[in-house]
Amino acid sequence: MSERVILLIIPGLREDDLARMPELQRLAADAAPLAHSFPGLSAVVQTSMTTGLLPRDHGVVSHGAFDRDCSLWSPKTTTVQTPAERVWTTIRAYIPEFRCKLIGLEPIAADHQRSSVDWFQQCPTDVSQTTVDVVEEAVSALRLGNHLLIARLLHLDGAGHVYGPESDEFAAMQAKLNEEIGELFRKVTRWATQMNQPEPLWIVATEYVIHPVNQCVQPNRVLQQLGWLTNTFDEHFSGEEAVLGGHGNLAWATGEYQCAHVFLADCPESPPAEGVALAFQDVDGVAEVLQEKGKQRRDLNHPNSGDLVLIAEPNATFDCSVGLVGDLPRGTHGSPAEQSEMRGVILASEPGVLFGSSAMADFDVAGIVLRQFGI
């Protein structure tokens, strides 16, 4: 068991990156490949990591939420909800004095909470959405008596999306991230020595791996060409709430990166799911079209999922607008972590923390954290 745990979540981190990051290697007394849940999106993976559940159970299946009752799509994670209990809530039930600090995580509300504001107010944590100075925030959190620190480090994420994971810009961010982790480690070690405290246990986990992109697929343009989507609300697909049902719309797609959810209108004129699936099977850049059995196979069989779910090819990304596509990103993520190059890595600063496993999944992280607090 550990008195304090520091969990660093790093989007874009690959096992091969460790060779160029000696400060991170220092924390790798234990290591294993890490597969993300599908879809490999921030809100989904962070919820799996902090609940120990798959999307089929915790219900976070995308970066947004679609309300079937009123056909309202909201593309913001602040509207996503889950009934699942987070690790900090579980720990506090056993250790009343337990305190936790979150830095840069997506604010996913619990079902009984109306919004992320309630999540901030009600969860037994200190929450910060900024990642401007993670080092100072992290050290301050330890000084204030927090037992668990979860911080998301975004250095590789932006460079990977904009320039690609093999770019010079990505390599520069590797160096910067390595430097920041080294500074954080030294300051935490200094604090522990000065306060006569044991060193915290460090856990580092990949959120998702970023793949190179050379193709963009627009599912709503396909639906529009088939006559199933007439009123596109294009600006809403790009970042605002919208009522997508009605207005002559019989089918529409929401989502981003490598996962798109297709919803069908609840009316007699709506096309059959089999017909929509058939329409997408031959679309270049679409790897899989999931109906009910497919969603079960991908652990995405939850009411929040679309009637169908599209998975992009590894080199493709989705854009749910129907207008002209702007500059194509050089990197994307989200597809199932089936091949080794699609999996990230999990590290621990002490041997044996990862149960001696040769491979792990993101939902295993919750159990690792709970075990360190004797649960």
> What is the pLDDT, as a whole number, of residue 121?
35
Domain count, the chain: 2
Distance CA 31, CA 6 (A): 16
Co-location of 307 and 348 in the same domain: no
Co-location of 231 and 357 in the same domain: no
Instruction: Over range 299-313, report the average pLDDT.
Output: 96
> What is the pLDDT, as a whole number, of residue 82?
73
Cα torsion 338, 55, 92, 189: sign = positive
Task: Retrieve residue 107's tokens.
Answer: 């604010």
State the residue range of the domain holding 204.
5-211+335-372
Co-location of 188 and 230 in the same domain: no
- Model confidence at 256, pLDDT cuts 50, 70, 90, reads confident
Domain end residue (candidates: 296, 313, 328): 328
Q: Is cis: bond before 336, omega within 30 of 0?
A: no
pLDDT in tens, 27-49: 999 999 999 999 999 999 999 99
Co-location of 249 and 349 in the same domain: no
Identify the weakest region by mean pLDDT among 7-16, 129-138, 244-253, 262-271: 129-138
Segment of 233-237, 266-270, 321-325 carrying the highest mean pLDDT:
266-270
Identify the weakest region by mean pLDDT among 91-95, 252-256, 323-327: 323-327
Co-location of 29 and 119 in the same domain: yes
**Phi and psi (nearest 5°) for 286?**
-95, 120
- Write the CB contacts of 54 (distance below 8 Å, at least 6 apart in sequence): 37, 48, 299, 363
Co-location of 74 and 153 in the same domain: yes
Distance CA 323, CA 159 (A): 25
pLDDT in tens, 141-151: 888 899 999 99
Co-location of 199 and 272 in the same domain: no
Q: Check which CATH number belongs to the domain holding 144 and give it.
A: 3.40.720.10
Q: For residue 111, what are the CA distances in angstroms to 79, 81, 84, 106, 276?
A: 10, 5, 9, 16, 31
Co-location of 282 and 366 in the same domain: no
With CA atoms as reference, report the closest residue to 352 among 51, 1, 33: 1
Co-location of 309 and 362 in the same domain: no
Q: Check which CATH number belongs to the domain holding 230 and give it.
A: 3.30.1360.110
Helix (H, G, I), strand (E, B) or coil at 287: strand
Instruction: Over range 218-245, report the average pLDDT.
Output: 75
Distance CA 225, CA 203 (A): 48
Instruction: Over range 8-17, report the average pLDDT.
Output: 96
Co-location of 250 and 206 in the same domain: no
Co-location of 102 and 177 in the same domain: yes
- The kind and range of the H/E element at 219 are helix 219-225
Distance CA 263, CA 54 (A): 21
Q: For residue 211, what are the CA distances in angstroms to 11, 13, 163, 174?
A: 12, 11, 11, 16
